[in-house]
Structure 1
Amino acid sequence: MTTWGDTGVFRPRELGSRSRAAGGPWRLDEVVDVPDTVVDAGQVGALEIRAASTRGAAHRSRGEVRQDAVGVLDLSGRYVLAAVADGASTATHAHRGAQIAVRHALGYLAWALPGADLDSVDMVNALRTAGRAVRDAGPSPESRATTLTVAVVELGWAGQGHRYRAVRVGDSPALVLTSGTFLPLFAKQGNDRLPTPRGPADRVQGVLRAGEALVLATSGLGAPVRETPVGAYLAEAWSEVPGPVTYLHHLQFDLRSFEDDRTAAVIWAGHEH
């Protein structure tokens, strides 16, 4: 009998009881343009960026498409943009909604920010633009229901760190990793979805200091960070900026009952020279 999956240093870190689904072979899904995993990485000034979205064990074992999406963008060396979306598990085309939401939210900000001050740009308009795009992408808009969390980090604000703004619809969290602790930025657990949120968008602003990291995640990562030893594990693992492959390995931990897609965009603030 052969062993399915990676071994040695590439084996997913076990952080509790093992997931039965994670131990079995993956099944290919039927969506050609949504791969199992995407990874991105880069450096912009004193900021280091890592982003990944990876299919959860439950979806892999059933041959279902990854419903999360992520995007990061360097805007003229002045702003770093990031977005994550978590397609609703009950929506038949949730993966499309998530992709559309991320693409159009970042597209709006890439259009609105050049030549503008961060304070003059209404971040909520990025959510509205994404919501319209999700709604207008075809019949049955609710089949594309998705959360969306978007952030902008402005480099080197007055030598006092990096200003950021974040907005969201739904429950995909934003956090700051500081002094070994993940601090949630949004006070409540939202349950709205695009394209038709029922309440106002959540919004937050702050300053990212040297040594801190801004984290946008979907609930597949946010829930275990909040509720299990995953929080301590990632706080230690991300105390320094990992390489892109190591970063992806961090997201591939094995833990029973936490088998959803895992997506995170992380922006680390280094020391300016």
Structure 2
Amino acid sequence: MKESWGDAGVFRPRELGPPSRAAGAPWRLDGVADVPDTVIEAGRVGGLEIRAASTRGPGHRARGEVRQDALGVTDLGGRYVLAAVADGAGAASHAHRGAQLAVRHALGYLAWALPGSDLDVVDMVGALRKADEALRNAGPAPESRTTTLTVVAVELGWAGQGHRYRAVRVGDSPAMVLTGGVFVPLFARRAQLDDRLPVPRGPIDGKRGVLRTGEALVLATSGLGTPMPETPLGAYLAEAWAEPPGPVAYLYHLQFDLRGFEDDRTAVVMWA
């Protein structure tokens, strides 16, 4: 049996500071068969290049715990691209189910509502309500399915000025625009711990904007959002994502090694 563990050479995770002990430990299978360690999506829709991945952090891998993040992206007839990310609360026993349900029902609602409406007037908050309802009705102890949720709808080629978007959020999962080599947050308000589904107690965050050529819209979970402002990760990703990377390279960017930041990593990025 091989004594060492992990990838070597060009596939070795990028060390952005003191290495994590968990990152060097063997991965352990978790006990949830239908939630894989990693999921990845990639594609091009009109003038948008899209990459999306959700992967277990080193902590969950070393302990054999399930990935608690979830994501979803979909092309709605070439006119809209929908995306959602959810970060299940670490202390909730079925947080992974809550994150999955939130993403599925939020995107399902918008896929139903947008074709008969317009981005200006569609009820974006309705997507959060549908997700909240799904979490509450999925069985007893809805607090065991606690999760954040961020949802965005992007309209392609709006009036020749770029791609307009609307985003809504419950919780503290960050959304940003990468412009001029800098990540600019979409939401200014600092969310509280109880701003989560189900039954969020804080206000809903909402944002409208236009994604211009050369910019990228980023949805992420705290596994990226927490270290980005205070460690070299922000500069590393700003350089790596200056242009759309290939799908495998994109996934590699999420496999960084940095002590103290071992949470699941999830991000959806859309480049104009």
Q: What stretches of structure 1 move > 4 A for 4+ residues in a row?
A: none
Q: Does 1:230 align with 2:229?
A: no
In structure 1, the partner of 2:243 is 240
1:115 Cα offset (Å): 3.1
The aligned runs of 1:21-60 (5 Å cut-off) are 21-60=22-61
1:189 Cα offset (Å): 2.1
1:188 Cα offset (Å): 1.9
Partners of 2:213 and 2:154 in 1: CA distance:
13
SS of the residue 2:115 aligns to: coil
SS of the residue 1:114 aligns to: helix
**Which amino acid letter does the alignment assign opposite residue 268 of structure 2?**
A
Q: Percent identity?
A: 78
1:235 Cα offset (Å): 0.2
In structure 2, the partner of 1:200 is 203
Partners of 1:247 and 1:3 in 2: CA distance:
25
In structure 1, the partner of 2:223 is 220
In structure 1, the partner of 2:88 is 87
In structure 1, the partner of 2:178 is 177
In structure 2, the partner of 1:2 is 3
Structure 1, residues 203-231: CA drift from partner, whole Å, max 9, x if none?
Answer: 01100000000000000111111221100
1:2 Cα offset (Å): 2.6
**Which amino acid letter does the alignment assign opposite residue 37 of structure 1?**
T
TM-score, L = length of structure 2: 0.98
Structure 1, residues 14-68: CA drift from partner, whole Å, max 9, x if none?
Answer: 0000001001101110000000000001100000110000001111111000000
Gap regions ≥5 residues in structure 1: none
Partners of 2:134 and 2:153 in 1: CA distance:
20
Partners of 1:51 and 1:87 in 2: CA distance:
17
SS of the residue 1:227 aligns to: coil
In structure 1, the partner of 2:252 is 249
In structure 2, the partner of 1:128 is 129
Q: Does 1:209 align with 2:218?
A: no
TM-score, L = length of structure 1: 0.97
Structure 1, residues 119-155: CA drift from partner, whole Å, max 9, x if none?
Answer: 1101111000000001100100000000000001100
**Which amino acid letter does the alignment assign opposite residue 236 of structure 2?**
Y
Partners of 2:247 and 2:3 in 1: CA distance:
29
Partners of 1:217 and 1:227 in 2: CA distance:
16
* RMSD after superposition: 0.7
Partners of 2:218 and 2:246 in 1: CA distance:
16
Partners of 2:110 and 2:23 in 1: CA distance:
37
In structure 2, the partner of 1:119 is 120
Partners of 2:112 and 2:46 in 1: CA distance:
21
1:199 Cα offset (Å): 2.0
In structure 1, the partner of 2:75 is 74
1:3 Cα offset (Å): 2.0
Farther off after superposition, 219-228 or 34-43:
219-228
Gap regions ≥5 residues in structure 2: none
**Which amino acid letter does the alignment assign opposite residue 229 of structure 2?**
R
In structure 2, the partner of 1:153 is 154
**Which amino acid letter does the alignment assign opposite residue 158 of structure 1?**
A
**Which amino acid letter does the alignment assign opposite residue 105 of structure 1?**
A
